[in-house]
Every structure is written in C-alpha cells, then in structure tokens.
Structure 1
Amino acid sequence: MRLLDAYIGRTVFVAILMVLVLLLGLDFVLGMVAELRRLKLDYQVPEMLIYLLMKMPQRTYDYLPFASLIGCLVGVGSLATHSELVVMRAAGVSLWRIVWAVFKPMLLLVMIGTAIGEYVMPYTEHLADSERALQRAGHQDSILQQAGVWHREGDEFQYFNVVEPNGVLHGVSRFRFDENFRLLESSYAKRAISQGDHWILEDVQVSRLEEQRMVSEHSQTLRWDTGLTTDALNIISVSPEDLSIRGLYAYVNYLERQGLDASEQELEMWKKLMQPLGIIALIVIGVSFVFGPLRSVTMGQRVFIGVLFGFGFKIFQDLLSPASMVFGFSPALAVAAPILLCLLLGWWLLRGAA
C-alpha cells in the first residue's frame, strides 16, 4: 500500500510542478516583454533579467493555488484516463485512501509555499523594486516617484523616494506642520543612513517659515532623531500583498497606533493565513471533479474546466474582499467564504462518488 501511495503522490506532485513551471515560464516571458519598454539609464537587459528572477518567489507564491488545482486535475486525470483508478477501486482500495495519497505530497507543497511567503518573498520583492528604481534613475536625485513611500510621525509628514532593505533612504523629504496644519518647516536630504538609534542625513536643504520670510539652510550632514526604525521601513515600503504574515501583523499594529485605517492590511493578512487552506480546498475540488463529473472527459476538457473554476474562485475572492471593507463585515469571513464553499462542494462530490 505504501508503494501505491507513493505512486499516486508522485504522479500528482510531478503534474503540479509541471503546471507551475509552465505558468512561471509564461509569466517570465510576458514580464520580459513588458520590462523591455522600461529600459533606462543603468537599467538594461542584465539588470532586467535579475529583476525578473527576483520576482519569481512572489510569482511562485501567487500561482501555487492555481497550479495545485490544474496539476491535480492533470495528475489524477491521467490515472483515470489509463483506467488505473478503476483497477485500484476493483482491488479494494477505498476512495478516501486514494484522496489521502493525493494529499500527502500536497502538504509538502503547502509548507514550501508558506516558507516562501514568510521568509523569501518579502525580502526579494523589496530588493527587486528598490534596485530597479535606483537603476532606472541612474542614482540621480530625480528617483522615480512611483517607488516612494509616505509616512507620518506626529506633526511631521515624510516622503522617501526609495527605501533600500539595508537601512539606506534616498530622497528624504520632510514637512512639519503646526496644530492648524500650517507648514512650519520643510527639508530635503539626498540620502539618509541608519545608525541604529538615529539617522544621518546627507546633503540636506532646510527651509523654515519665520514670520514674513523664509530662511534656508544647507548642511552636508545632519543628525535625525526619529522613532522610525529600519524594520518598520522595510514593512511600510512594501506592498501589503508582498509582506509576510508577521510583517502584516506588525503593519496593522503600526497603522492602528498612528490612528490610520488598517483594513486593507488586515484583509491581506487573512488571505495569507488562509492560503494553505485554500490550496487544500482546490485540491479537494480537483480530486472530486475527476471522480465525479469529469471522470469520462478528455484531458483537455478537464484542464479547461479547471481553468474556468480557478478563475471563478479568484474572481469570487476578489469581489468579496473589497466588499468586506465597504460593507463592514469581517475580512476573515470574506476570505474564508469561497474556501468553505469549495470544501463543501468537494466533500459533497466525493461523498457521492464513494
């Protein structure tokens, strides 16, 4: 029986890996076509290829649920096409035993996906985006604005053109206001370097409003005492979907302390928490389809229906997610509802097949 479990698991596991590699390869080619139009200054073909490779962990994490569904349909479907499932059932192997044999290697995939999302993707995404912004700007002052990050600390608003993971800021703009939100002081520093408990600003231009005149000062270096740490910057400078669960939890707490809305970050945190359960739900659907309505159809039809179902699942999730913020119901419910529906549908189909 162990040999049978290993055979079923290996067949499905290889099918999922093949689908995942195919999706990543297609994404890489499309990304390369899109990036070729953005070549500029120090950002040329070698830098573009490095950038796309650094985006692969994030793509792998995003495609894993979809690849699991299609790969499960292909793997289990190939066993059905060659009548191997019929032989197993005739030999007395129960349906639930076959389902468990499919699930065992999937647990490894779930753990790999979780590890990528927690420990690899946040760092590579931050590094890829910050390096590309610097390269496309040619390390000049006019760093691309779409890479920037806004931050509020008390009565001061801050904007950073580029945040590097190693504790270096480029293009630091600071605006200090009074209690009536009248501008008191603005400053711009070409660069800021973390020194642990404070920052050193380089090439600083400060402008102050004093009564009826403006006073400007220039300093080569200036000490900046702030509660903003490198770890906090590495969180707020990355898109919520690219953060780890730990990073999102810290981000939600940070926004709540600042009195800001954290619903988007909380929603993304629930998505990541429930992604392993989502992968399991899609695998249940894939197995139940092969044993149920898709038992006698061709492989092409299985893949086509799997793609349609995968897109439908994604669209349903994407519609419920913003609806939770608009109508004020729990983001956990918005994320869990499609997953629970998949599990119930799969269980119902498998129960009928058994």
Structure 2
Amino acid sequence: MKIIDKYLLQNLFIGFLAAAALLLPLFSTLDLVSELDDIGGDYRLIQAIEVVAMTLPRRMVELGPFIALLGGIAALGQLALTQELNTLRAAGISAARIGLSTVLAGALFAVALAAVDEFAASPLQQKAIQLRTHALASTEGNGKDGSIWGRKDQQFVRVGGLRLGRIPTHIEIFSFDGNQALKEYLFADYADIESEGLWQLHDVTVKRWVEGNETVEHLDQMTWQSVLPETRLQDVALPANSLSSRQLYHYIEFLKGTTQPAAQYEVALWEKLGTLLLTLAMILLAVPFSFSQVRSTGLGSKLALGAITGLLVYLANQIIVNLGILFGLVPMLVGTVPALVMLVFSISLILQLDRKR
C-alpha cells in the first residue's frame, strides 16, 4: 500500500500544481484590472503590479479549497480515464482507502497553506495595503487611511489615520463621567509615540464642561497615556483577513480587555481553521467525482462541475460567515461549522460508493 499511497500523492500534488497554475494567474489578472481604476498620481502601474504580486500568497490561501477540489478531480479523474482507479478497486482497495490517501495529500497541502498564511501571506498583504494606502493618500492629498478606535474605562479615543503608516493623526479623545455625560473632549493634530505607551500630542485643543460651563484651552504639546494596544499601531488599522493568527489573537485579547466588540476578529481567527478543514473536505469531494461513470462524464465536464461546486461552496460559506457576524452567533461555530458539514458530507459520499459496490 505504501507504493500506491506514494503514487496517489504524486498525482494529487501534480494536480494541485496544475490547478494553482490555472487559477492564480486568472485571479491575479482580475485583481490587477480592479487596481487599474485607482491608478493615477503617485499610484502608478508598477506599484499596482507590485501590490498584486504581494497579495498573491493571500490569494493562494483563499483559493486553497478550490485548488484542492480541482486538483483532486484532475488527478483522480485522469487515473479513472486510464482505468487505474478501477484496477485498484478490483484489487480489493476500497474507495474509503483511496480517500484516506487523498486526506493525507489534503492534510499536507493544508499545513503548507497554514504556513504560507502565517509567515508569507499576512506580512506581504499588510505591506501591500500600506503601499497602496500611502500612494493613494498622497494622490488624494490627505493622510487618512481609516479610523482606529480604543476604549479604557470611561475614556474613548479615535485616531483618524496613520501618516506614513506610523504617525497617528486627527486624534480625538472623549472622557465621560459616571453618569455617561461628556466631561472632556480633546483634539490633537498628530502625535509622536514614545516609550511605555506615552504619546506626545501636538497642536491640542481641550474642551471641558464643569457644571454647565464650557472652557477651551489650546496647547502646543501635551503628554497622554495611550489606551491603544502596545502592538504596532498600524496592525490595528488593517482589515481582519490580513492579520496572522498571532496578530488576531493579541488584538482580540486587547478588545476584550477594553470591553469592545471582537466578534469580527474572532470569526476571522476561526475561519483560518475552517479553511484548513474545508480544504480536506474539498479534496475528499474529488473522490466521488472521479468514480462517476467515465463514459457519461468526461474529465472536462467533471472539472466544470467541480468549479461550479467550489464556487457555490465558497459563496455559501461567505454568506454564513456574514450572517453569523450580523446575528452575533458563536464565532467558533460560524468559522468552522460550514467546513465540518462539508467534511461530513464528503465522507458520507465516499462511504456510499463502497456500499453500492
């Protein structure tokens, strides 16, 4: 069986490479076309190409289940066309045993995707976002790249954006009393981040309300103890899907510690596990596709049907995730249950092949 396992693994990984070689250039071209609309000023074509190239590992991770399905269908389908799968079954090897070999290939592929996600896709995507943001901000004549919110006790802070990816700008600080009445409002044009969480605020306006009376004070500089996380501030401004598992975990801990909603980031963290499980489910789904009647369904038709199935699974998963966030469902279930359901469904189809034999 070791020889057969190695032979199946070899063919499956060739199938993965073929599927990746087909899908990645296609989706990268679509990404580049979408970037062309924003080209102008300091954001040039060469930068757009660089952004698309840096997001290529993230695209591969996102397409991982799709690659597993199409690569598995291509590899096993070719073996079915040459009657090798039928020979294996005639020799007493069950569809479940062949499925076990595909699971091994899928597990190795999933582990590789997880490593790419953690150590390549996330860092490169973050650099791409920062490159794109800085170029567009310069073109549009402003330094804002999205608001950042923080909270500690009765103090709320809003950072309007990050200049050069590291200098907080347009800072607003709201302080409330025990009756939830606003007692102090502070606005600073920008800040220099110092050690131990201290910020040196510049061009500061402070408004205070005491017994119905308002006072306004203007300061050139002011020291403020930040309530934002000690991690890199630019990480906080990045979208959840661009963060690595470690970044998500630390930011979730910060949000929970400051009683802020963290569901979106928790779902993003569990989705990483869900993607790996979905990859296993899709490679297993390739087995029943391959055992269908070769004469009635050619390899091209199987690949087309697999592509449609993969697209429907992807859309269903995205709908479930967004509905889960909207209705406040348990993040662990939102991120993993769709993949688990698909995994059980794929296993049941393989077991049904053996019962029909």
Q: Do residues 46 (structure 1) and 39 (structure 2) align?
A: no
Superposed displacement of residue 182, structure 1: 5.0
CA deviation string 1:102-124 (max 9, x = no partner): 33332221111111222323322
CA deviation string 1:66-109 (max 9, x = no partner): 11111111111111112121222234444333223333332221
Describe the shift of the 1:138–1:21 C-alpha distance in structure 2 as closer, same or farther (beyond 3 A): same
Describe the shift of the 1:226–1:53 C-alpha distance in structure 2 as closer, same or farther (beyond 3 A): same
Pairwise CA RMSD of aligned residues? 2.8
CA contact under 8 A between 1:80 and 1:290: conserved in structure 2? yes
Superposed displacement of residue 326, structure 1: 4.7
CA contact under 8 A between 1:13 and 1:106: conserved in structure 2? no
Q: State the AA in 2 paired with 1:171.
A: T
Alignment of 1:25-36 (within 5 A): 25-36=25-36
Describe the shift of the 1:121–1:38 C-alpha distance in structure 2 as closer, same or farther (beyond 3 A): same
Q: Do residues 70 (structure 1) and 70 (structure 2) align?
A: yes
Q: Do residues 184 (structure 1) and 185 (structure 2) align?
A: yes
User: 1:151 maps to which residue?
Assistant: 150
CA deviation string 1:125-163 (max 9, x = no partner): 222112221122339971244x44333345241214137
Whole-angstrom CA distance in 1 between matches of 2:69 and 2:295: 16
Whole-angstrom CA distance in 1 between matches of 2:311 and 2:132: 31
User: 1:218 maps to which residue?
Assistant: 220
Superposition TM-score, scaled by structure 2 size = 0.85
Q: Do residues 207 (structure 1) and 205 (structure 2) align?
A: yes
Whole-angstrom CA distance in 2 between matches of 1:73 and 1:242: 30
CA deviation string 1:239-291 (max 9, x = no partner): 12222233223222222222222222222222112222111111111112222
SS at match of 2:42: coil
User: 1:82 maps to which residue?
Assistant: 82
Whole-angstrom CA distance in 2 between matches of 1:185 and 1:276: 46
CA contact under 8 A between 1:28 and 1:52: conserved in structure 2? yes
CA contact under 8 A between 2:162 and 2:234: conserved in structure 1? no
Whole-angstrom CA distance in 2 between matches of 1:293 and 1:271: 35
Structure 1, gaps ≥5 residues long? none
Higher mean alpha-carbon deviation, 43-52 vs 101-110, is at 101-110
Whole-angstrom CA distance in 1 between matches of 2:295 and 2:341: 22
Describe the shift of the 1:17–1:149 C-alpha distance in structure 2 as closer, same or farther (beyond 3 A): farther
Higher mean alpha-carbon deviation, 249-258 vs 131-140, is at 131-140
SS at match of 2:149: strand
Alignment of 1:149-298 (within 5 A): 149-154=148-153, 155-162=155-162, 168-179=166-177, 180-181=181-182, 183-189=184-190, 192-193=192-193, 195-199=194-198, 201=200, 204-209=202-207, 214-219=216-221, 223-231=223-231, 233-292=233-292, 296-298=296-298
Whole-angstrom CA distance in 1 between matches of 2:141 and 2:176: 29
Whole-angstrom CA distance in 1 between matches of 2:329 and 2:215: 51
SS at match of 1:117: helix
User: 2:346 maps to which residue?
Assistant: 346
User: 1:312 maps to which residue?
Assistant: 312
Whole-angstrom CA distance in 1 between matches of 2:168 and 2:139: 9
Whole-angstrom CA distance in 1 between matches of 2:24 and 2:268: 23
User: 1:6 maps to which residue?
Assistant: 6
Q: Do residues 116 (structure 1) and 116 (structure 2) align?
A: yes
Whole-angstrom CA distance in 2 between matches of 1:265 and 1:139: 31
CA deviation string 1:39-89 (max 9, x = no partner): 233221222222111111211111111111111111111111121212222
CA contact under 8 A between 1:160 and 1:173: conserved in structure 2? yes
Whole-angstrom CA distance in 2 between matches of 1:295 and 1:310: 23
Q: State the AA in 1 paired with 2:150.
A: H
Describe the shift of the 1:124–1:164 C-alpha distance in structure 2 as closer, same or farther (beyond 3 A): farther
Describe the shift of the 1:35–1:230 C-alpha distance in structure 2 as closer, same or farther (beyond 3 A): farther
Q: State the AA in 1 paired with 2:142.
A: S
Q: State the AA in 2 paired with 1:252.
A: I
Whole-angstrom CA distance in 1 between matches of 2:101 and 2:33: 40
Whole-angstrom CA distance in 2 between matches of 1:226 and 1:234: 15
Structure 2, gaps ≥5 residues long? none
Whole-angstrom CA distance in 2 between matches of 1:264 and 1:319: 14
Superposition TM-score, scaled by structure 1 size = 0.86
Superposed displacement of residue 200, structure 1: 5.6
Higher mean alpha-carbon deviation, 48-57 vs 147-156, is at 147-156
Percent identity of equivalent pairs: 23
Describe the shift of the 1:164–1:118 C-alpha distance in structure 2 as closer, same or farther (beyond 3 A): farther
Whole-angstrom CA distance in 2 between matches of 1:52 and 1:19: 19
Whole-angstrom CA distance in 2 between matches of 1:296 and 1:163: 61
Q: State the AA in 1 paired with 2:217.
A: V
